[in-house]
């Protein structure tokens, strides 16, 4: 049965890096569908794959350039299939943003429907959400086995983590486990409503790869961050 994992948190807390490390770890155990649900997408960078199309661009094509004799639904399905990027042990789909006029409502609905259709063919789905709380109010992620809420050991990060946990309860989003990940920390600060998944320490090797724009697959087996993410995946019952 497919396990669906969401990642949320304040901007700058390391969500995308954590998502990439988790995807690479899960890919050792099964097939992974990676979903970049941030309009300002960048998950492909640490995963080391290119992106030629997004759901946002597919939406624009379906609204403006449907060939004669082809239904909008069929054309959209074809465009979405073209948006799927194959990686090493994972596939990636990117939300992006509409390039033409209009809100994100339609792309958000599309990503829900498309992920629901695709996920049966994968062991894991990992959704890297945009910063803050907006993705939850749009119901981009409506039913998940695990939500990892990222924070750093700062007052602002912890307050945002608490608000995310509270909002998920208020909106009655179906979540099996809500787990706190404290990034760039040696010890964790408890947050009401969440169990502690673990901490990720500062990792100079990881930081160097990020500064150089190199994929995280180039991390050595000694990476403290990669080891921490592996422990978090184990505690969450994912591997």
The CATH number of whichever domain residue 87 belongs to comes to 3.40.50.300
pLDDT value for 146? 93
> Which stretches of 73-152 are assigned E, i.e. beta strand?
85-86, 90-94, 124-128, 143-151
Task: Please indicate, yes or no, whether the overall pTM of this predicted structure exceeds 0.75.
Answer: yes
**CA-CA distances (angstroms) from residue 31 to 8, 124, 198?**
22, 6, 24
Mean pLDDT across the chain: 83
User: DSSP secondary-structure letter at 81?
Assistant: H
Which range is least confidently modeled, 2-11, 19-28, 118-127, 182-191? Answer: 182-191
φ/ψ of 163, rounded to 5, equals: -65, -40
Domain range holding 85?
3-235
**Roughly how many angstroms between the first and final C-alpha of the chain, as a whole number?**
13
Q: Which helix (H) or strand (E) holds 32?
A: strand 32-36
pLDDT value for 55? 77
Query: How many domains, the chain?
Result: 1
18 close to 46: Cβ distance less than 8 angstroms: no
Distance, in Å, from the CA atom of 129 to the CA atom of 144, rounded to the nearest integer, reads: 13
31 close to 90: Cβ distance less than 8 angstroms: yes
Interval 29-49: pLDDT, tens? 999 999 998 777 889 999 999
Question: How is the chain split among helix, strand and coil, in percent rounded to 5?
Answer: 40, 20, 40
Decide if pLDDT at 100 tops 70: no
């Amino acid at each position: 049965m497919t396990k669906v994992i969401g990642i949320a948190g304040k901007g700058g807390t390391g969500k995308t890096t954590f998502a990439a490390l988790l995807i690479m770890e899960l890919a050792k155990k099964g097939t992974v569908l990676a979903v970049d649900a941030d309009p300002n997408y960048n998950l492909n960078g640490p995963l080391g794959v290119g992106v030629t199309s997004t759901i946002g661009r597919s939406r624009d094509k379906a609204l403006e350039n449907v060939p004669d004799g082809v239904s909008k639904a069929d054309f959209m399905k074809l465009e979405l299939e073209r948006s799927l990027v194959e990686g090493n042990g994972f596939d990636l789909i990117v939300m992006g943003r509409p390039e033409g006029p209009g809100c994100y409502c339609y792309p958000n609905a599309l990503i829900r429907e498309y992920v629901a259709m695709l996920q049966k063919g994968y062991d894991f789905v990992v959704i890297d959400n945009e910063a803050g709380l907006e993705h939850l109010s749009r119901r981009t992620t409506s039913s998940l086995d695990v939500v990892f809420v990222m924070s750093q050991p700062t007052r602002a990060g912890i307050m945002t983590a608490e608000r995310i946990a509270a909002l998920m309860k208020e909106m009655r989003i179906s979540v099996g486990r809500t787990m706190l990940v404290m990034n760039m920390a040696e010890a964790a600060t408890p947050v009401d409503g969440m169990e502690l998944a673990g901490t990720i320490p500062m990792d100079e090797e990881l930081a160097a790869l990020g500064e150089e724009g190199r994929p995280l697959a180039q991390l050595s087996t000694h990476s403290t961050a990669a080891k921490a993410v592996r422990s978090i995946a184990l505690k969450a019952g994912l591997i």
